[in-house]
Chains A and B, each alone.
Chain A
Amino acid sequence: MRSAPDPSAARARVELLLDPGRAFAAAREAPRGEWFGYVLIFPGVLLIGIVVLYPVLQSVLLSFTNANLLSPARVFIGLQNYRQVFADAEFSTGLVNSATLTAAAVVLELVLGMGLALLLREKVPGIQIFRSLTMASWVIPVVATVMMFDLMVLPQYGLFNILLDRLGLKQFDVFWFGNPLTAMPTVVMMHVWRNTPFFGIALLSAMQMIPQELYEAAEIDGASPLQTFWRITVPGVAYVAMIMVIIHVLWTSNNFDFVYIATGGGPVDSTLVLPVFVYRQFWQNFQTGFAASSGVVLMLALMTFTILYVTRVREREA
């Protein structure tokens, strides 16, 4: 048997995320545990420590040096890389593209996911089949998704263009990944295709935890469906929606392979996002220090976003 859901515990955890001082105090307050507990968590902590924490710290250090993959000499140069990052036109392009991609994809995923959840809540015959198929696009490899879309957007022979031709819109027949105007929307579409199901399923679970009595009371009071939706359903799923938005903003901004495999950042940098920019600096220009500092900027931007977003949600609830 599962215990009763306790959203407040999860909420407290997210709040701790924003408040290192309190998290630290909470950690110290915890009563001394048995030694076996430490044995249990040791391997995980060790592995994450070595393979994540060490490289991150190392990257932060690198970002203050003129490190280059081709020469071993390494000199501390202070904030020079950071100055260079903010003066770099390509970095600005990457920043704008990353923000555009993330905002467009996450907003669409949230809205479409909400619609999907409302549909999946309907008790029509066979709905279980739809529910069980939903996550399929989320589990398959990103590379495979890119190949599927690549195949659909081919000039002349791709599905999109075949359909356009049939509709008599032959003049719009382009290679969707190869055209600066359509490349970014196509990348957004791939993200939406992959992540909307997760939003739908998550919001559906949240809706199913809203007490049925609320809806019954609303019906007795003669509330319209629209009122019921805004006054009961939306507040009921707000917390899960917030978690999903945060996770997906992080995942989408940090995502590398969708863009790199589909377009490599082109055409003419129209899909150049920050992870691809960082990767290029590392492996094509070998500018390790410079690449590290641009990666650190991305990380700081994401941290700032998360803190601001959660604080605002908390203020509005208070």
Chain B
Amino acid sequence: MTRRLSVLRVARVYTLLLFYYGFFLFPMVWIVVTSFKTTGAIFSGRLIPRLSDLTFTGYQQVWQFSPFLTFFRNSTITALGVTALALVISSPGAFGLSKYQVRGRRGLVVAILASQMLPPVLILVPFYTLVVTLGLSDTYVGIVLAHTVLALPFCMWMLKGYMDAVPSALAEAAQVDGCTKLGTFLRVMLPASAPGLAVVAFFAFTVSWGDYLFVSIISGSNRTATLPLYLFQLSNSLQLRWDMIAAGTVLTVLPVVILFALVQRWLAEGLLTGAVKG
């Protein structure tokens, strides 16, 4: 709008924004504050903590006296594996779908969208059988495969949207200049869709980092289980330690929030590129 904003209008916008972002941010603020409280303070019903309510006990308990670090390591290994695999598979796939006249291309794109209709719980049993048959139960490989496939359709769709926007002439010019097909892909297409790659990497990472369902099936023990299972176990123990649950949650969310801060300026466009940009 080119019209100047009136003071009243600005005040109204800020008030409404305050409601929205109060709702979005307060649960996060509340759990961060709780994670620094003593158990007594958590059960005191005080809104504003006193100085004596504050402590690091929750973090100390989680870090030293619980298997948190094992789960954190498992989550990191799995999520990084998923990110790498999703990038390695989806970027050539998206390039092929975007710039090559592959037979059945449109059908494939439709299939990728339609895969969002499948209930994950429906594929659990055959998938479990497959994992057991391949000897992959309770292994990182099994979990990485499952998460990669969860993330892959959306990754390919997003990246295809990005690569559609890279002019075909650019790729053709590179070929004329003597670039091989592979060279064109690596030196022209990948750099040209770098923000898309960042968003896809982030998306794959968060899918893996947050999944509960498939890990709960594939991980028979805590050897390969990831952080969502840790939080689930904490919240289902006989004696609920809310300081530990809060601290564990904050530590689980922290890596995602840091990565989010890095990619956030491309995220919205990246997620929508398939839907809005056509």
Contact = CB atoms under 8 A, between A and B. Distances in A.
Interface of A: 1-3, 5-11, 13-14, 16-17, 23-24, 26-28, 30-34, 36-41, 43-45, 47-48, 50-52, 54-56, 58-59, 62, 69, 112, 115-116, 119, 122-124, 130, 132-137, 139-152, 154, 156-157, 159, 162, 165, 193, 196-198, 201-202, 204-206, 209, 215-216, 240, 243-244, 247, 250-251, 253-254, 256-257, 260-261, 274-275, 278-279, 282, 288, 291-292, 295-296, 298-299, 302-303, 306
A56 B120 CA distance: 10
B201 to A, nearest CB: 13
Given A10-B275, A27-B107, 12 more contacts: A3-B165, A14-B113, A32-B103, A40-B100, A48-B115, A51-B149, A143-B231, A198-B271, A205-B276, A240-B275, A256-B120, A292-B122
Contacts of B181: 36
Contact of A141 (B42, B105, B148, B253): B253
A308 to B, nearest CB: 13
A141 B227 contact: yes
B100 A37 contact: yes
A147 B245 contact: yes
A144 B253 contact: yes
Interface of B: 1-2, 5, 9-10, 13-14, 16-17, 20-21, 23-28, 30-31, 34, 42-45, 47, 88-90, 92-93, 95-97, 99-110, 112-127, 129-130, 145-146, 148-149, 152-153, 156, 164-165, 167, 181, 185, 202, 206, 209-213, 227-228, 231-232, 235, 242, 245-246, 249, 252-253, 256-257, 260, 264-265, 267-269, 271-272, 274-278
B210 A143 contact: yes
B123 to A, nearest CB: 4
Contacts of B257: 136, 139-140
A150 B256 CA distance: 20
B5 A44 contact: no
A143 B228 contact: yes
B227 to A, nearest CB: 7
Closest 6 CB pairs between A and B? A37-B100, A40-B96, A141-B210, A295-B122, A44-B93, A58-B126
Nearest to B10: A124
A6 B90 contact: no
Contacts, number: 328
B43 A193 contact: no
18 contacts: A3-B165, A3-B167, A16-B110, A23-B106, A37-B102, A44-B90, A51-B130, A52-B115, A124-B13, A141-B210, A146-B235, A147-B245, A162-B45, A240-B275, A257-B211, A278-B119, A295-B121, A299-B122
Contacts of A5: 276-278
B278 A8 contact: yes
Contacts of A261: 212, 232, 235
A204 B136 CA distance: 44
Contacts of B235: 146-147, 150, 261
B276 A279 contact: no
Contacts of A62: 125-126
Given A123-B1, A148-B30, A254 B125 contact: no
A44 B89 contact: yes
A27 B104 contact: yes
B128 to A, nearest CB: 9
B148 A151 contact: no
Nearest to A289: B125
B106 A27 contact: yes
B222 to A, nearest CB: 16
A291 B196 CA distance: 38
Contacts of A38: 96, 100, 102
Contacts of A257: 211-213, 228
A85 to B, nearest CB: 13
A14 B47 CA distance: 50
Of the candidates B96, B127, B210, the one having the most CB atoms from chain A within 10 angstroms of its own CB is B96
B17 A119 contact: yes
A149 B34 CA distance: 13
Contact of B277 (A6, A119, A154): A6
Contacts of A1: 167
Given A141-B227, A165-B45, A202-B275, A59 B24 contact: no
Contacts of B117: 250, 299, 302-303, 306
B243 to A, nearest CB: 11
B227 A27 contact: no
A69 B125 CA distance: 9
A2 B277 contact: yes
Given A45-B108, A124-B14, A152-B27, A135 B212 contact: no
